[in-house]
């Protein structure tokens, strides 16, 4: 079944199909506490150093915040499990097409920050697609949600990212630091240790919101319109995905004009872009995203950015957001043109030349390996001192991967460009289509630490369903499970009568699930799944589809070598074209 994914918000299909998207959901309005909750009472701790804490002190890069959250257990359960209504689109609850009407709900809590207590605070979940996690939800704290807090305007709200997509914990802060080093507007960033209802402490990444204080510091004015770009681009079909966040409003006509100018190839690209965008900073934003191998940013995935109509220049300026995906894919290409802006610039000879000039500038003036390595080691020292012990091995491995990226990225780019500018897809980004390939239902039984062994020789699986016309019922199948790359991996291998092998997999975090707990693998999130194929002539399988709307349950689960692991996995199989 082929389903056209329409305009605007539907573009999520391709994006989540390719990558795990990180998006900070919008701030909630002023709804009352949920029914049945007790509204917190009592005054804010009077006086004390926190009441006079400045924004600069709050984002001191060497500061680690300590946050204690106390709330009704029922409210915490509702917060961590909250998700958009099922049926928003093909990606289920964790990864719905962007809908401005949906807001995670604030719930009342007492919050203590660095020893100073606010008893009338609000806490809500912060999640979208890849950052969705019920065990460790991202959080937004509003100290003045239910009553005046007496705090300075710039410190009344906190954004705490759960870093579930960045096992190193350092990429968000380091990535923002690189953007700032390039002279681009970028949030400040440090860390917070968070404990909920006396539970185990968890490390979070504390990121500066793009509020009026940020706009004043970055642009000298709060009078312009700020839009958040989530699976959004300067094509009229996708403009509805921009969400107006701050400012007087009315700049939508400017976004339409910018989109039409980009598509008008009768005039030079640099002229068209310069009429609506701050040209130099837009080129720097593009080059820095490429340098850091951003796979979920504007120029690679039309995602995770803000756009501000700067009053002093009357031009649109980019600002990054959600950059925990950077500094990982060493061999990412030396140019990305998956955005409308980069596509039309790169098609133009002068625009392409300006891009490579800007990339050279960034390599010379921004990408100083010694400075980046020094900042990485500073961040790594903070993280390794505060991360839970159970994560330290994965954290150190991921940090070493980031060290290697910094050391080698310049060399990789030089190798890619040794024969001149890269060829790219000549076609502009398009509205994607979702192709439904079938569904699968599997009951499996195997033993722990069996990965790498012939699955059929270790475990067994009973399979039902069909994929691309292949009937799976009765196919020879086996199962294996264990750790791979710091993750837990379940593999189901199916041998088809055609001689091809199908490989259904689910990958999740190192933390062990409780037997009987129902997990929901999807394109993204902590548990995700897919299907790969291997033809007789292939050396190894290649990914052909993803698993969505899935259910995974382990009826028996233990991690001693040879221990029994059994359960079931079912879901829909789709591909994005």
Closest C-alpha among 330, 282, 24, 289 to residue 179: 289
Q: Are residues 405 and 484 in the same domain?
A: no
With respect to residue 386, please indicate whether it lies within any of the assigned structural domains.
no
Q: Are residues 58 and 176 in the same domain?
A: yes
Which tokens belong to 198? 């006396």
With respect to residue 294, please indicate whether it lies within any of the assigned structural domains.
yes
The single residue listed with the structure tokens 């990535």 is: 175
Closest C-alpha among 3, 413, 29, 490 to residue 12: 3
Which tokens belong to 439? 């569904």
With respect to residue 428, please indicate whether it lies within any of the assigned structural domains.
no
With respect to residue 427, please indicate whether it lies within any of the assigned structural domains.
no
Q: Are residues 254 and 282 in the same domain?
A: yes
Number of folded domains in the chain?
Answer: 3
Three-state secondary-structure class, residue 207: strand
Q: Given 190, 216, 242, which residue is the final one in a domain?
A: 216
Which tokens belong to 498? 């055609």
With respect to residue 556, please indicate whether it lies within any of the assigned structural domains.
yes
Three-state secondary-structure class, residue 238: coil
Closest C-alpha among 455, 568, 461 to residue 515: 568
Q: Is the dihedral of CA 359, 360, 364, 365 positive or negative?
A: negative
Strand-strand pairing, 64-70 and 189-196:
parallel
Residue 203: exposure state from Cβ atoms within 10 A (0-12, 13-18, ≥19): buried
Q: Are residues 234 and 203 in the same domain?
A: no
Residue 232: exposure state from Cβ atoms within 10 A (0-12, 13-18, ≥19): buried
Q: Are residues 354 and 442 in the same domain?
A: no
With respect to residue 392, please indicate whether it lies within any of the assigned structural domains.
no
Q: Are residues 285 and 361 in the same domain?
A: yes
Q: What does the alpha-carbon distance between residue 44 and residue 153 come to, in Å, rounded to a whole number? A: 16
Q: Are residues 536 and 514 in the same domain?
A: yes
Q: Are residues 348 and 304 in the same domain?
A: yes
Q: What does the alpha-carbon distance between residue 392 and residue 415 come to, in Å, rounded to a whole number? A: 34
With respect to residue 457, please indicate whether it lies within any of the assigned structural domains.
yes
Q: Note down pLDDT in tens along the chain; length 577 residues.
A: 433 333 333 333 333 333 322 223 333 333 333 333 333 333 333 334 445 678 999 999 999 999 999 999 999 999 988 876 543 333 433 344 444 556 789 999 999 998 888 888 999 998 766 566 778 999 999 999 988 777 777 888 999 999 988 999 999 999 999 999 999 999 999 999 999 999 999 999 999 999 999 999 999 999 999 999 988 899 988 888 898 999 998 899 999 999 999 999 999 999 999 999 999 999 999 999 999 999 999 999 899 999 999 999 999 999 999 999 999 999 999 999 999 999 999 999 999 999 999 999 999 999 999 999 999 999 999 999 999 999 999 999 999 999 999 999 999 999 999 999 999 999 988 765 667 888 999 999 999 988 876 655 568 888 888 887 778 887 888 899 988 766 788 888 888 776 777 878 888 777 788 888 888 876 555 677 888 776 555 555 555 778 888 899 999 999 999 999 999 999 988 876 6
Domain that holds residue 480: 435-576
Q: Are residues 193 and 232 in the same domain?
A: no
Gyration radius from the chain CA atoms: 24
DSSP string, 334-377: S----SHHHHHHHHSHHHHHHHHHHHHHHHHHT--HHHHHHHHH
Q: What's the pLDDT at 548?
A: 80
CATH number of the domain encompassing residue 344? 1.10.1070
With respect to residue 156, please indicate whether it lies within any of the assigned structural domains.
yes
Q: Are residues 315 and 351 in the same domain?
A: yes
Q: Are residues 527 and 552 in the same domain?
A: yes
Q: Are residues 38 and 116 in the same domain?
A: yes
Q: What's the pLDDT at 133?
A: 73
Residue 33: exposure state from Cβ atoms within 10 A (0-12, 13-18, ≥19): middle
């Amino acid at each position: 079944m082929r389903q056209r994914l329409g305009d605007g918000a539907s573009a999520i299909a391709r994006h989540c199909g390719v990558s795990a998207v990180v998006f900070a959901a919008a701030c909630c309005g002023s709804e009352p506490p949920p029914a049945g909750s007790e509204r917190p009472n009592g005054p804010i701790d009077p006086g004390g150093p926190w009441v006079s804490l400045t924004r600069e002190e709050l984002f001191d890069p060497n500061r680690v915040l300590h946050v204690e959250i106390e709330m009704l257990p029922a409210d915490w359960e509702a917060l961590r499990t909250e998700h958009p209504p099922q049926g928003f689109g093909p990606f289920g609850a964790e990864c719905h097409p962007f809908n401005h009407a949906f807001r995670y709900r604030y719930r009342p809590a007492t919050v203590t920050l660095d020893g100073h207590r606010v008893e009338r605070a609000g806490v809500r979940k912060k999640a979208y697609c890849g950052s969705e996690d019920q065990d460790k939800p991202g959080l937004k704290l509003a100290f003045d949600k239910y009553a005046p807090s007496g705090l300075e305007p710039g410190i009344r709200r906190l954004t705490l990212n759960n870093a579930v997509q960045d096992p190193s914990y350092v990429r968000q802060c380091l990535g923002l630091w690189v953007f700032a080093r390039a002279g681009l507007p970028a949030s400040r960033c440090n860390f917070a240790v968070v404990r909920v209802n006396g539970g185990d402490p968890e490390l979070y990444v504390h990121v500066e919101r793009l509020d009026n204080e940020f706009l004043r510091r970055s642009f000298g004015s709060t009078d312009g319109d700020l839009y958040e770009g989530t699976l959004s681009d300067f094509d009229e079909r996708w403009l509805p995905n921009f969400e107006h966040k701050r400012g007087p409003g009315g700049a939508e006509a400017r976004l339409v004009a910018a989109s039409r100018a980009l598509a008008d190839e009768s005039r030079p690209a640099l002229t068209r872009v310069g009429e609506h965008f701050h040209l130099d900073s837009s080129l720097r934003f593009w080059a820095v995203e490429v340098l850091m191998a951003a796979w979920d940013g504007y120029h690679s995935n039309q995602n995770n950015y803000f756009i501000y109509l700067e009053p002093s220049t009357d031009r649109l300026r980019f600002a990054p957001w959600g950059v925990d995906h950077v500094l990982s894919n060493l061999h990412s290409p030396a140019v990305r043109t998956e955005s409308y802006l980069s596509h039309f610039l790169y098609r133009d000879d002068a625009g392409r030349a300006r891009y490579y000039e800007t990339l050279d500038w960034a390599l010379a003036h921004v990408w100083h390996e010694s400075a980046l390595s020094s900042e990485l080691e500073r961040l790594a020292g903070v993280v390794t001192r505060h991360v839970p012990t159970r994560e330290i091995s994965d954290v150190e491995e991921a940090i070493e991967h980031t060290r290697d990226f910094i050391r080698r990225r310049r060399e990789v780019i030089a190798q890619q460009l040794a024969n001149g500018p890269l060829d790219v897809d000549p076609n502009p980004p398009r509205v994607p289509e979702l192709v439904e390939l079938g569904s699968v239902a599997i009951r499996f039984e195997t033993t722990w630490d069996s990965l790498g062994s012939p699955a059929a020789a270790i475990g067994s699986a009973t399979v039902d369903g069909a994929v691309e016309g292949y009937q799976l019922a009765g196919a020879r199948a086996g199962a294996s499970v264990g750790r791979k790359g710091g993750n837990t991996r379940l593999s189901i291998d199916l041998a088809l009568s055609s001689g091809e092998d199908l490989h259904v997999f689910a990958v999740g975090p190192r933390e062990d699930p409780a037997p009987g707990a129902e997990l929901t693998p999807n394109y993204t999130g902590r548990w995700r799944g897919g299907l790969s194929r291997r033809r007789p002539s292939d050396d190894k399988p290649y990914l052909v589809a993803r698993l969505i709307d899935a259910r995974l349950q382990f009826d028996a689960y233990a991690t001693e070598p040879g221990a029994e692991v059994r359960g079931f996995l079912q879901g829909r199989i789709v591909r994005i074209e």
